[in-house]
Amino acid sequence: MTLDQEPVLVINPGSSSLKWGCFRTTASTQPILSDSVELNEIESSFENIAKKFNISLVVVRYVHGGPQYHSPLLITDDILESLPMLDEYAPMHNPLSRWCVDKAKLWFKSSVRIVAVFDTEYFHDLPKVSQAYSLPRALIKKYGIRRYGFHGFAHDGMYQYLCSRKKEFNVNLNRTITIQLGSGCSMAAIKNGFPIDTTMGFTPNEGLLMATRSGDIDSGLLTWLQAKEGWDHKLTENVLTKESGWYGMSGLNTDMQLLIQDQEPTSRLAVELFIWRIRKALGAYFAILGGLDSVIISGGIAENNPQFCQTLLMELNHLGIEVDNYFKVTSDLPIELSSQLSTVKCWVVANQEFQSMLASTKRGLQEFNQQRT
């Protein structure tokens, strides 16, 4: 069976749920079947998939590959033993990815090939200045400290999708900002097809306000709270990643759609800060890109509420963004948010992570096969 004849299961574990898609080949753009399941539903879902499809290739998304892994990895017994070491880099995500790898060996036939793909791949070659932290060189060298960037498949996927339709939509993508809005949120600046900066850094906690993650926070405030509250590193991690964000600020829930509708002052402030930080990053990226041609937004928040994305982009006329106040509300994506007068074209597009993960897998398997020959 050749590479492009294999039924492929793509598994995308997130912080709050897991998405999966079954594709006929690694070159497919649309799944045969796909779903999003809660964490307690995963095992039963994949048992059913194993009965329906003769899966011979499983692709599992890893959020963080640490300093050692940043390209597709064919899972061997030796690699399998090294995967637990990655848990510390993304404790909210990597353990679930590893669990999926372990279970895939049980769910599917013994000859199944399993490939781990890493969300940090897309940002591996960021400019050195964009990778850097101002910490002692000895620490940076000892621990491989850098800004890794995350949501790589999401940012690559939405950018490549619009690239494939740029003539149809008459859009210039030379200077582009991509925005991923879900439980986790991030932005990327892309110049002439290559990312030059992103809001997430060493961990997926840096940058924008998120559902339960704090995003950017004063490091001095953090050490002050540790001293005042007696937090150890585990408790600190828990507060920053599971008790903060718009959930922590509002004391309500993690659902941004409900938060937008809530009129409590704490909820209003959380939404305002969410918008504020996105606009701040837009302005910063306008500066380093030397202008702006397009903005692309995706993720659950954006896809379920394009009107909110319109609100995000209002009052940015000085950046060349003019939103269309009369755009047609529809469930069909993509949707253009910008008006005909706007020099910056703004779009909401459907999530394309699966497609980006498959493209990465195909490249990786081709390289692996070339090495074997």
Predicted structure pTM score? 0.93
In a shared domain, residues 263 and 339:
yes
In a shared domain, residues 176 and 313:
yes
Task: Give me the DSSP letters along 277-343.
Answer: HHHHHHHHHHHHHTS-SEEEEESHHHHH-HHHHHHHHTT-GGGT--B-TTPPP-SSS-EE-B-TT-S
State which of 77, 98, 118 marks the end of a domain: 118
The answer to whether residue 67 is domain-embedded is: yes
Report the range of poorest mean pLDDT among 9-13, 94-98, 108-112, 178-182: 108-112
In a shared domain, residues 308 and 220:
yes
In a shared domain, residues 79 and 172:
no
Q: What's the confidence (pLDDT) of residue 38?
A: 84
In a shared domain, residues 171 and 259:
yes
Contact 204, 216 (CB under 8 A): no
User: Under 8 Å CB-to-CB from 145, ≥6 apart: which residues?
Assistant: 133, 135, 139, 202
Query: Which residue is catalytic, options 119, 216, 255, 293?
Result: 119
Annotation marks residue 119 as catalytic: yes
In a shared domain, residues 95 and 176:
no
Report the range of poorest mean pLDDT among 109-113, 186-190, 291-295, 357-361: 109-113
Contact 42, 365 (CB under 8 A): no
Q: What's the confidence (pLDDT) of residue 53?
A: 86
In a shared domain, residues 220 and 312:
yes
In a shared domain, residues 95 and 230:
no
Q: Which domain holds residue 104?
A: 3-118
Q: What's the confidence (pLDDT) of residue 2?
A: 41
Tally of structural domains, the chain: 2
pLDDT tens, residue by residue, 210-265: 999 999 999 999 999 999 999 999 999 999 999 999 999 998 889 999 999 999 99
CATH code at position 201:
3.30.420.40
Mean pLDDT for 110-139 is: 95
